[in-house]
Amino acid sequence: MLIIKNASKIFSKGTVNEHTALRELNLLVEEGEFVTIVGSNGAGKSTLFNAVCGTFLLDAGSICLDDRNITFMAEHKRARHIGRLYQDTMKGTAPNLTIEENLALAYSRSKRGPFRIAVSKKERQLYRDALAAYEMGLEDRLETKVGLLSGGQRQIVALLMATLVPPKLLLLDEHTAALDPAAAEKVMKITKDIVRHNHLTTLMITHNLKSALTTGNRTIMMDGGSIIFDISEEERKNMTIEDLMHMYSQKRHVELDNDRMLFS
């Protein structure tokens, strides 16, 4: 369970560039929920993820994960419990290390043990079996450097690194946005399978409104550093993209002709 209370963050406070990125934001995510997040550029979506991960500390408010207050916990300690994927397919992996070395690094970190150069036979088989389930042939390329893989393949490695030992929270920061349609569909399918199989508590940022309404079991929209509406699974069953845009228009008193205007 993730509980965020009155989270606030102001950047460049007291200067002409002052910007309120999070504005007394409140969010409760139950264990096993898969929540999609939409909102315009600058709405505070990635800032919210950075706050949860500990990239910076909040100016006010609190963050609790599974009944543990992590508001002031160091970023590297939170990383043991939080998995994150980025839009940039080079983030989250070490491109100059092999697939096996990347997986070993993630596995050792999540187990709170030191990183060992040597990989045991049992661990290597664990990596092979996990990769084989994705049917992309990566199990036969353990010695290939991650930087030589395609974007979709890198995201699969990053996804496995984040979930090989199931985290308490999985954050997906537009992790398919930079991929071609076929690769994006493949990665999204595998993501859903992993989340469902491991019953992972998950937050996913997306600019794809259709995906936002059909992925997971709940959709929230952010604007100006706040959550402006929260749609349950039941409420969004028959909801269309046009309905979502209309809700935003009514809330913000603006007229939108298409969904691109929402994200401009």
CA distance 158 to 28: 26
State mean pLDDT over 182-198. 94
Query: Do residues 151 and 89 touch, judged by C-beta distance below 8 A?
Result: yes
Read off the pLDDT band of 199 (50, 70, 90).
very high
Q: Please count the other Cβ atoms lying within 10 Å of the Cβ belonging to residue 9.
A: 23
Please tell me the predicted confidence (pLDDT) of residue 261. Answer: 46
CA dihedral 135, 153, 204, 101 (to 10 degrees): 100
What percentage of residues in the chain have a pLDDT greater than 90?
Answer: 71
What is the domain-level CATH number for residue 83? 3.40.50.300
> Is the Cα torsion angle 209, 211, 212, 217 positive or negative in sign?
positive
Per-residue pLDDT tens digits for 216-251: 999 999 999 999 999 999 999 889 988 888 888 877
Average pLDDT, the chain: 90
Q: Which domain holds residue 80?
A: 2-262
What percentage of residues in the chain have a pLDDT greater than 70?
Answer: 91
Please tell me the predicted confidence (pLDDT) of residue 64. Answer: 97
Query: Do residues 47 and 55 touch, judged by C-beta distance below 8 A?
Result: no
CA distance 52 to 70: 8
How many structural domains are present in the chain? 1
pTM for this prediction:
0.91
Query: Do residues 144 and 98 touch, judged by C-beta distance below 8 A?
Result: yes
